[in-house]
Amino acid sequence: MNGLAAVLGAVLSAVGTALYLRDVWCGRTVPHRGSWAVWGVIAVLAAAAHGADGGRWSLVVLVWQAVGSVLVAVVALRRGVGRLTPGNVALMSVAALGVVGWATLSDPLAASGCAVLADAAGLAVMWPKTWADPGSETLATYALAAATGLLAALAVPAWDRDLLLFPVYFCVGNAATAGLIAVRRRAAGPIAPAPGVRCGPVPEVVATVGSSR
């Protein structure tokens, strides 16, 4: 069961990243640089921490998640947005403190709590943009990320709380983000193509996957 959950989680993570990068290239999705920078660092540290704490199959999911997050963070440097407003600076400072806490604390549960804090601050930085322009994010990516977090949690051996905290948070945080995008899109009505969009409409199967979460 652990191995199957890990493989499925890795596949969903890869698909979600591919959909996101495709939408960025097409001009439909505009990533937030600060958020993805935090998530890239957090994903790498999460994979490293799980490996150090004895994670096996769950590590497979987190390694794929780390690769995808770093790729998007690099692409966001050129194609993303994100200004240094006072609110963003405050949230990014919280994220930085969380990263430092995770990297320096010896207690695995406390370190994972710092990782959750840092990752949540990255979400909080992005949410105002998503609220104002829900079409600037790829709903299916966050829905698939929520499923990936659930599968990563199922892949944790013996339900170790130190290893469970971050995957469970990852599932809940991404599900909430997908829900926010879906609700705001429904309220805004049909989304007109943004200037500079290079690709055609989103394929029906992708729209179905995203709207079903």
Is the pLDDT confidence value at 60 over 90?
no
Q: Which has the higher per-residue pLDDT, 197 or 63?
A: 63
pLDDT of residue 204: 38
Secondary-structure percent of the chain, ordered helix, strand, coil, rounded to 5: 80, 0, 20
pLDDT of residue 202: 44
- Given a contact cutoff of 8 angstroms between Cβ atoms, the answer to whether 148 and 39 are in contact is no
For 46-78, b/e burial (b = at least 16 CB within 10 A) is bbbbbeebebebbbbbbbbbbbbbbbbbebbee
Tokens of 109: 């549960």
Mean of the pLDDT values across residues 192-204?
A: 51
Mean of the pLDDT values across residues 56-64?
A: 75
pLDDT band for 207, please (50, 70, 90 cuts).
very low
pLDDT of residue 212: 31
Domain boundary assignment for the chain: 2-211
Is the pLDDT confidence value at 206 over 50?
no
Comparing 21-30, 99-108, 127-136, 163-172, the range with the smallest average pLDDT is 99-108
Mean of the pLDDT values across residues 122-127?
A: 88
pTM, 2 dp: 0.79
Residues 88-104 have pLDDT tens digits of: 677 778 777 877 876 77
pLDDT band for 37, please (50, 70, 90 cuts).
confident
pLDDT of residue 193: 52
Q: Which has the higher per-residue pLDDT, 98 or 50?
A: 98
pLDDT of residue 177: 96
